[in-house]
Homo-oligomer: A and B are copies of this chain.
Amino acid sequence: MKKMPSSLVLFSGGIDSTTALYWARSRFKQVTSLSFAYGQRHKIEIKLARKLTKKLNIPHIILRLDMNQIGGSALTDTQIPVPEIDRIEEIGTDPPATYVPFRNGIFLSMAAAWAEANSIRDLVCGFNIVDSPPYPDTRPAFVSAMIKAINLGTTTSLDKEKFVLHAPFIRMKKSYIIQKGLALNADYSYSISCYAGAEVPCLKCSSCLLRQQAWEEVGQKDPLLVRLEKEGKL
């Protein structure tokens, strides 16, 4: 397969975007990774994301935006507790307290702006709707509408080459996403998913439980836990 020239990967450091990073590496000659320091409770994800990009020798851009200014989410307001659950079945159909108002809309807008200023037209994200709490801003209909708005509101509306938003895992189960990544030799040992904010996962939030279930389905121990054990952190 002939590789395409360059892409920008929205890289939070979780399972899905880590896989997206490896996916992009397999398809693009140049890959740039982009993380957001948005005032998240679990900002340690950025530090660990940087470790992986250094290892892979991939440029890592960090854009800062304080979403505490917007509020309304347990992920950016430490006054709102992260819900603890015992079983995955407790995840409801309404967006939970960890929903950050229009976070992915803001992130995609900023990613497109950065990409526009740097002449990159391919955006890659790890959004998915299976094995995930019901966040409205990860769904296919949103993703399609957003890239349309981006192409109408940037100079690509005048150019021939439009922005393309690749969301290759949007309808995939998390365990399948992991298998895709493992086939690309993905290193998940620095990937963290926990909302609580520590490197050692709480194993009580929805994100931890969904990750745990996915690794069980894969039939492998979570490489993050393997590393933490090795480093004596567990």
Contact = CB atoms under 8 A, between A and B. Distances in A.
Interface of A: 63-67, 69-73, 94-95, 99-106, 109-110, 112-114, 116-118, 136-137, 139, 141-142, 145-146, 148-150, 152-155, 157-158
Q: Return the 10 tightest CB-CB contacts between A and B, nearest first.
A: A72-B117, A101-B113, A145-B149, A137-B153, A142-B153, A102-B113, A142-B152, A101-B116, A146-B149, A105-B109
A63 B65 CA distance: 10
A6 B108 CA distance: 28
Contacts of A139: 152-153, 157
A75 B161 CA distance: 25
Contacts of A158: 94-95, 136
A102 B112 contact: yes
Contacts of A154: 101-102, 105, 136-137
Given A146-B149, A149-B146, A117 B105 contact: no
State the main secondary structure of chain A at its contact with B: helix
A153 B104 contact: yes
Given A64-B69, A101-B112, 8 more contacts: A72-B116, A72-B118, A101-B117, A102-B110, A102-B153, A105-B153, A136-B152, A142-B149
Contacts of A152: 136, 139, 141-142, 145-146
A105 B156 CA distance: 14
Contacts of A103: 113
Contacts of A142: 149, 152-153, 157
Contacts of A64: 66, 69
A201 to B, nearest CB: 27
A73 B116 CA distance: 11
Contacts of A102: 109-110, 112-113, 116, 150, 153-154
Nearest to A67: B113
